[in-house]
Amino acid sequence: MRYELYYWPTIQGRGEFVRLALEEAGADYVDVARRGARGMAALNRLLESGKTRSFAPPFLKTGNQIIGQTANILLYLGPRLGLAPKSESSRLWAHQLQLTISDLVDEVHDVHHPIASSLYYHQQNPDAARRAPHFTRDRLTKYLNYFESILAANSRGSRYVLGRNPSYLDLSLFQVMAGLRYAFPRTMKKRAADYPALTALAERVSGRPNIASYLASSRRVPFSEYGIFRHYPELDR
Amino acid sequence: MRYELYYWPTIQGRGEFVRLALEEAGADYVDVARRGARGMAALNRLLESGKTRSFAPPFLKTGNQIIGQTANILLYLGPRLGLAPKSESSRLWAHQLQLTISDLVDEVHDVHHPIASSLYYHQQNPDAARRAPHFTRDRLTKYLNYFESILAANSRGSRYVLGRNPSYLDLSLFQVMAGLRYAFPRTMKKRAADYPALTALAERVSGRPNIASYLASSRRVPFSEYGIFRHYPELDR
């Protein structure tokens, strides 16, 4: 089964959560829009037509089916890639946590774009500077405390969030930690000691053979000030 | 099967999407926190402890299982309440659209709270006034055009988004239209002609017997300036 992933070619963004799952599983996939202008044209075509077109990338094409929304793509891929738990209740729980990660990602984006995603950062940086401390002090702390406590409560004695085997959720938490460290290095360094379980999990994921080789490859788009996790020192005080 | 819904008792908010599904199906449920101080204490207790606690309300308790994240709750309830399509691919598609509604709801919230949800509106209304026109002009239009075109493409000849029978998605689109009309009456009135399918759908849902009787009851919390859909005339120019 060959998967076609459609996402913006120059950023990690929301597509990265899907890329990591496909890479960990060694799945047969194509990152379509990274294949040049024809790939981008294909992305735009699927975005603009069809009964089940998506509101925005990422979306995944498999056979005739197109699936959009990051967490929904992982809900679909998880069992097929061996990256989801078996029971329905555990799958809902994993999906719930993935949706909470989506919420955090939205808030991270809006730190640098509080007014409009259609404006540049420099057109809204006074607002961003007002939003940032609320994020780093209150919201980020609330999210990380939540995931740290969930991790501690669920993985007792296990290596991954849901038990002995890694799931897409572990990959997503790795990505969140990597992104936060890129965007808010000062804040994250100061708080590292508060999140031993998340820190250890991120380390463990980055050391998995397929992930390590992906991260070292040119398939991993670098973090930058075009993506969701952006480093602006003035927002990381 | 008795369901316990946990959500803030004084607003419609995200919980309303779940309430509508339970009401349409005539399900046996308790809106726990609306039962006074003991209900609120129970909500806070479940929010603060347990291996599968939620990051935020709403969450649903059924037997020993607790399920959080609005769209995830509907993913679980849909088939059980007869409000979801049968095939896996249709269920993923419905869930994808529900997640896109969640994204719209987040953006609606951030129109009046662009800086921090912990601040009052009056502490961020200059920023809100800057964000609002980007929302009403660009984002709202993009979302409504999307749902209108999906509706037109999918329900051809049918009465509901996914065919002859209503799903939780129809109820959610009704709620979105009701909320947008409350929050942005001027904008929505001016654009009404652009969204005939959404308008007809909302009308059809509000006339369904269980929904009509729910909307007329005291179980329906009124819209207000404490919820997600808030009417501030200065944001609806």
Q: Which distant-in-sequence residues (6+ apart) come within 8 Å of A217 by Cβ?
A: none
Position A120 scores a pLDDT of 96
Confidence of residue B154 (pLDDT cuts 50, 70, 90): confident
B168-183 vs B140-154: helix crossing angle, rounded to 10: 150
ipTM, two decimals, is 0.97
Predicted pLDDT of residue A153:
86
Residue A86: helix, strand or coil by DSSP?
coil
Given a cut of 70, the residues of chain A with pLDDT beneath it are 1, 155-157
The Cα A154–Cα A174 span in angstroms is 17
Residue from A17, A95, A96 whose CB has the most chain B CBs within 10 Å, to mutate: A96
Instruction: Note the pLDDT tens digit of each residue in B13-66.
Output: 999 999 999 999 999 999 999 999 999 999 999 999 888 999 999 999 999 999
Question: What digits encode the pLDDT tens for the residues B69-124?
Answer: 999 999 999 999 999 999 999 999 999 999 999 999 999 999 999 999 999 999 99
Which of B46, B67, B95 has the highest number of chain A CBs within 10 A, making it the mutation to test binding with A?
Answer: B95
Going by C-alpha positions, the residue among A79, A221, A208, A236 that lies closest to residue B92 is A79
Q: Looking at chain B, which residue has its C-alpha nearest residue A56?
A: B100
pLDDT tens sequence across B194-212: 999 999 999 999 999 999 9
Check CB contact under 8 Å for B130 and A127.
Answer: yes
Q: What is each CA distance from B112 to A8, A16, A37, B69, B200, in whole angstroms?
A: 30, 30, 39, 22, 28
Give the closest-approach CA distance of A99 to chain B in angstroms. 7
Query: Contact at 8 Å (CB) between B46 and B39?
Result: no
